Structure 1
Amino acid sequence: MKTIKLSLAALMAGGAFVGASAEGDTPKRTLKPNRMLVYNTLPPEVDSLKDMLMEGEFYGRLRLNTFYWDWAEEKYAKSATTGLNVGAKDNWTAGLGASLTYKSAYYYGVGFTIDGYTSQNPWHVDREDIPTLKAGKDVLSRYDAVNDGDYHMNVLAQLYLEYKFAKSSFKFGRQKVETFLTKSNDTKMIPNTFEGYTLTSKYFDKTTIKLAYLTKQKLRDHTRFHDPITFKNSDVYSSDPLKKATASWANNDDAGVHRGLRYDYFEKAGEDVDHDLIIAEVWNKSIQNLKVMLNYTGVPDVLYDITGEAHYTFKAGDFKIVPGIRYMMQFDDGGGKVGGASLLGLLSPYASTGNQDGGYSDPHSLDGWLFAARVDLKSDAPWKFRLGYSHIGDEADIVAPWRGFPTGGFTRAMGQYNWTANTDTYMLRGDYNFDKAGLVSGLKAMFRLAYQDYDQDKYVTVNGSKKQLQLSDRTVLHLDAIQKIKALPGLEARVRMAFVMADDNFDGRDPSYNEYRFEMNYLF
């Protein structure tokens, strides 16, 4: 099996190089700083089924990602039941991979896309250290590595049929879904994708409408599609200690997942363990200089969100000043009585600690809200700045395990989850274009400085000791640099660093850490 998978990786990489030499030096796609792809070349509309295939386009991508995580203070132990290390241990890993995409031409508006990915993990931590991985976990599947010894991922992440009509596109199948709370978030090796139906329309002037009915999700470090919100799977009942422990990685195990909305708790509550995700989103630019958004995202019988957002551009001499606001309301639709108000799941009525309120006004409700504001300062100069603030209402934590971040674009720094109840975040961001300044060709850099003030009065007591439900207050400095290699269009390198200075945990441990990432991409 490993030989077959490695051969697949070699075939994809080889095909990529052949495609690159055949098509010349102009990349068919380019990467935005947030790693979303921009297609510079798309297949045409054709007059026959034969041309639908013959006039399609291949797109390739080669990538390398490396990660190193350095805790200020390590504290870990070996599990007596699984033999795996758990806790805070310095960790590293690397991924080498490729993707090959084929988009057919369109015949009477109908076309299809096939998008295959591979992530090879030849340099990695030992199996016993897999649970200690942090950011680097996304180059492999922890479930596959621990249970099967498989450190490689090969995934058909996108496979959809598309119909274009009246400035609209309907897609059915596996696909990326880019909305407020759902993102491909393709910053590692394989994107976050979904199975279901989507409709995107620009039929109405200066308006974009997105509708989605999604039945499955595949997170970036998974090889299988799974429920979009349920944490753990039926392995939670297994008599095998390893299967039972790794049930946490077999369903939705996103870092922002609600751990109380889990397989066995849904069953104990007499609720379905299979869920759908429904989305409706509208962006409008009808009023000059004003951009507004309204979004609905819901999981029937669990929860739903309604979010409004607006940005207005003022001109002041040579400067553009762009204030923006976001207001999000989260409504309990049955999930609170299953999972509780805290994302850790310790306030679920089915948890051993579920008889405590944990400092929440209603420990068994998912009603919540957030407010965020920002001001951007831009000009023709090579720099721009952003000042952001967010406050999460002192009710329930915000549930968003779909890789779209509730505070994203306002106060979220790299790897931070600052949308737990009664959290305040203040952030300063600065961007500098060294290329535009005439200093270094192809180089852009960005920093974020954020202070995150969590609610330390939210905790439960376990065996006489306090267990915090939220992170310790912390200051985060994030540095990011992207270097485009102009001698080879489509090739770029990226360095990311985060320095997190945090207060001690309740147990006296310092949870501060430094994180280092190096990434290379070649698109053609």
Structure 2
Amino acid sequence: MKRRYSLLLLFTLTASLSQAEATLPKQALKTNGQLIYQEQKTAEIFKEMFQQGDFYGRLRSNNFYFGYDHDDSGHESNLVSSVGASFVFRSASLNNFDFTLGLYGSQAFFSADDFKNNISFAKAAKDTFSRYKYITNGSKSLFAFGQANISYSYSKTNFRAGRQLVETFYTKSNDTKMIPNSFDGLVVSSKDIKKTKLTLAYLAKQKLRDHESAHSVLMYDDSNSANHSQWTGNDDSAMHKGLSYTNLKAAGKKTDAPLIILDAQNNSVKNLKINFSSYVVPSLLSQVMGELNYKIALKSFSITHSVRYIEQFDNGAGDVGGASITTDTTGYKDPNSLNSGMIAARIVTKIDDYKLNLGYTQVLDKADLVTPWRGFPTAGYTRSMGMYNWRANVKSYRIELVKGANAKGIYTKPFLQTSVLYMDGDTNKKETDSMFYYAGIVQNIPSMQELQYRVRLGWRDFIGDSSQVSDYLDARFELNYLF
């Protein structure tokens, strides 16, 4: 009953706020969770860095229902509601120096009966609370500094040090729950080269969305499993569980190796966009990604052809954790090698306000791709809500239709997105074929553009032995009020 009253209250609040007078928002929220801020002010003296700085507030409500067609010892349907807030202060710029501080909080609401067997059954809602805090002291609240950094700009180059949001191909803030995914380190971004954007990052630590403290970028912490240490290290859903504290120590590898990123985009050739990205975790693993996007602009529509290739290099991680991110190497040709790759292709047709995306990806029949930093290898091609389709020898096909996309982050007209994804898994690796149907809507209330709602629905239908694999519904309702 409390949940029903809470949802009723949220809908009532939405209706009342929508009657307020429209004002120009000082920040906007894109569909991928990235915030767009207004232009930064300039200070003449030190105290004006604070006086001319801006506070950016955000109130959120997230509601998740994850329902299986049949519950059993390995599957539990659950409903989780949550409320949260964030307060970000961006100083004015003084002599090209500025700083940012961001405090985030979340409070989850759910019944213990929903997770009577295991709190690890929390799926999409797990990022609204800390599983470690809940299992150790029953707390459903979460507070963290998601940003705390200082930066200096020279010409078109910016140096930023500290805890920050890092948006590259391999790393994303992925701020779609309550607290963003952030990193501790140094990031240099530059547009000094004509028609080129470069980003170089040295990231010593990562702080996932459901964590209060930073941790290693590529270590699953099994150092004290009896005390649930696995939920204090990198426990991302895409984390390689074999790259654990125990295994790294036994192999003589560092447990706190950094993540080094090089990211580049170039538009020097007319109608051609070139993307390149790479990462290195020293003595463990590295990847390179290259992508070409060629746009053919016609009178009333455009067609963009894209190809992407990823090569993964095993620099010692395979012997530590094996070829599978789940550690089950059944069916892998070389169970101790993480050398692998992925090919992808898509055709995107844009007509007026509509965009049709036909995408295909294939991971080579070698090893799983390792990218547990919320940047998804199949993004833009076959990535759909919650789908980790970068396991070895998985082929994915997707058709997506989008209406109302824009780069401003204000959707007074609804942003609509629908897609159908087919994943062809490798049965030798215990993968089951499946269909995933998705529909989503995002809209800013026209009379109060600071208020945005989102509804996302996904249904996964496994093809094969339904007695062993349970189909499920992933339903999400979100409210964001920016001030």
1:43 corresponds to which residue?
40
- Tell me which of 56, 60, 70 is aligned to 2:57: 60
1:388 corresponds to which residue?
359
Q: CA deviation at 1:45?
A: 2.2
Report if aligned partners of 1:72, 1:510 keep a CA contact under 8 Å in 2: no
Structure with larger RCO (C-alpha < 8 A, sep 6+): 2
Q: CA deviation at 1:379?
A: 2.0
Q: CA deviation at 1:432?
A: 2.4
Report if aligned partners of 1:281, 1:295 keep a CA contact under 8 Å in 2: yes
Report if aligned partners of 1:192, 1:218 keep a CA contact under 8 Å in 2: yes
Q: CA deviation at 1:125?
A: 4.0
1:374 equivalent in alignment to 2:371: no
- Tell me which of 378, 399, 404 is aligned to 1:407: 378
1:32 corresponds to which residue?
30
Whole-angstrom CA distance in 2 between matches of 1:265 and 1:68: 36
Whole-angstrom CA distance in 2 between matches of 1:133 and 1:337: 31
2:18 corresponds to which residue?
none
2:427 corresponds to which residue?
456
The 1:144/1:504 distance shift into structure 2, 3 A limit, reads farther
Alignment coverage as a number of residue pairs: 457
Specify the SS of the correspondent of 2:103.
strand
Report if aligned partners of 2:65, 2:474 keep a CA contact under 8 Å in 1: yes
Whole-angstrom CA distance in 2 between matches of 1:432 and 1:122: 34
1:484 corresponds to which residue?
444
Matched ranges for 1:314-393 at <5 A:
314-347=296-329, 358-380=330-352, 382-393=353-364
Specify the SS of the correspondent of 1:422.
coil
The one-letter amino acid paired with 1:453 is: D
1:97 equivalent in alignment to 2:84: yes
- Tell me which of 260, 275, 279 is aligned to 2:257: 275
1:176 corresponds to which residue?
165
The one-letter amino acid paired with 1:269 is: A
Report if aligned partners of 2:22, 2:447 keep a CA contact under 8 Å in 1: no
Q: CA deviation at 1:25?
A: 2.6
1:493 corresponds to which residue?
453
2:142 corresponds to which residue?
153
Q: CA deviation at 1:27?
A: 1.2
Whole-angstrom CA distance in 2 between matches of 1:321 and 1:24: 36
Q: Is there any run of 5+ residues in structure 2 with no aligned partner, and where?
A: 1-20
Report if aligned partners of 1:327, 1:369 keep a CA contact under 8 Å in 2: yes
The one-letter amino acid paired with 1:25 is: T
Report if aligned partners of 1:93, 1:123 keep a CA contact under 8 Å in 2: yes
2:478 corresponds to which residue?
519
Specify the SS of the correspondent of 2:448.
coil
Whole-angstrom CA distance in 2 between matches of 1:46 and 1:153: 34
Q: CA deviation at 1:316?
A: 2.8
Q: Note the alpha carbon deviations across 1:32-52, whole angstroms, 9 max, x for none.
A: 11111111x233222211111
Q: Note the alpha carbon deviations across 1:149-180, whole angstroms, 9 max, x for none.
A: 11101111100011011111100000000011
Report if aligned partners of 1:192, 1:219 keep a CA contact under 8 Å in 2: yes
Q: CA deviation at 1:270?
A: 2.0
The one-letter amino acid paired with 1:37 is: L
1:219 corresponds to which residue?
208
Report if aligned partners of 1:142, 1:249 keep a CA contact under 8 Å in 2: yes
Report if aligned partners of 1:504, 1:511 keep a CA contact under 8 Å in 2: no
1:115 equivalent in alignment to 2:102: yes
Matched ranges for 1:403-442 at <5 A:
403-433=374-404, 442=413
The one-letter amino acid paired with 1:362 is: D
Report if aligned partners of 2:152, 2:160 keep a CA contact under 8 Å in 1: yes
The one-letter amino acid paired with 1:485 is: I
Specify the SS of the correspondent of 1:121.
strand
Whole-angstrom CA distance in 2 between matches of 1:24 and 1:43: 23
Specify the SS of the correspondent of 2:189.
strand
Q: Note the alpha carbon deviations across 1:260-308, whole angstroms, 9 max, x for none.
A: 1011111122222111000011110111111101111111111000110
2:199 corresponds to which residue?
210
The 1:145/1:107 distance shift into structure 2, 3 A limit, reads same
Whole-angstrom CA distance in 2 between matches of 1:50 and 1:514: 52
Whole-angstrom CA distance in 2 between matches of 1:122 and 1:251: 24
- Tell me which of 274, 285, 288 is aligned to 2:267: 285
Q: CA deviation at 1:441?
A: 5.8
2:282 corresponds to which residue?
300
Q: CA deviation at 1:24?
A: 8.7
The one-letter amino acid paired with 2:331 is: G
Q: CA deviation at 1:31?
A: 1.1
2:10 corresponds to which residue?
none
Whole-angstrom CA distance in 2 between matches of 1:410 and 1:208: 22
Q: CA deviation at 1:124?
A: 4.7
Whole-angstrom CA distance in 2 between matches of 1:359 and 1:67: 35
Relative to the length of structure 1, the TM-score reads 0.85
The one-letter amino acid paired with 2:371 is: A
The one-letter amino acid paired with 1:420 is: R
Q: CA deviation at 1:504?
A: 4.5
The one-letter amino acid paired with 2:473 is: N
- Tell me which of 72, 75, 97 is aligned to 2:72: 75
Q: CA deviation at 1:434?
A: 11
Whole-angstrom CA distance in 1 between matches of 2:111 and 2:105: 16
The one-letter amino acid paired with 2:287 is: D
Q: Note the alpha carbon deviations across 1:103-123, whole angstroms, 9 max, x for none.
A: 111111111000010101244
Specify the SS of the correspondent of 1:406.
coil
Q: Is there any run of 5+ residues in structure 1 with no aligned partner, and where?
A: 1-22, 77-86, 348-357, 459-467
Specify the SS of the correspondent of 2:373.
coil
Task: State percent identity of aligned pairs.
Answer: 39
Whole-angstrom CA distance in 2 between matches of 1:124 and 1:91: 9
Q: CA deviation at 1:233?
A: 4.0
The one-letter amino acid paired with 1:289 is: N
Whole-angstrom CA distance in 1 between matches of 2:335 and 2:412: 54
Once the two structures are overlaid, the 10-residue window that deviates more, 210-219 or 509-518, is: 509-518
Query: What's the C-alpha RMSD, in Å, of the aligned pairs?
Result: 1.8
Specify the SS of the correspondent of 1:213.
strand
Whole-angstrom CA distance in 2 between matches of 1:168 and 1:495: 38
The 1:186/1:125 distance shift into structure 2, 3 A limit, reads farther
The one-letter amino acid paired with 1:47 is: E
Specify the SS of the correspondent of 1:500.
strand
Q: Note the alpha carbon deviations across 1:391-439, whole angstroms, 9 max, x for none.
A: 000111100100000001110111000001111000000012399xxxx
1:230 equivalent in alignment to 2:219: yes
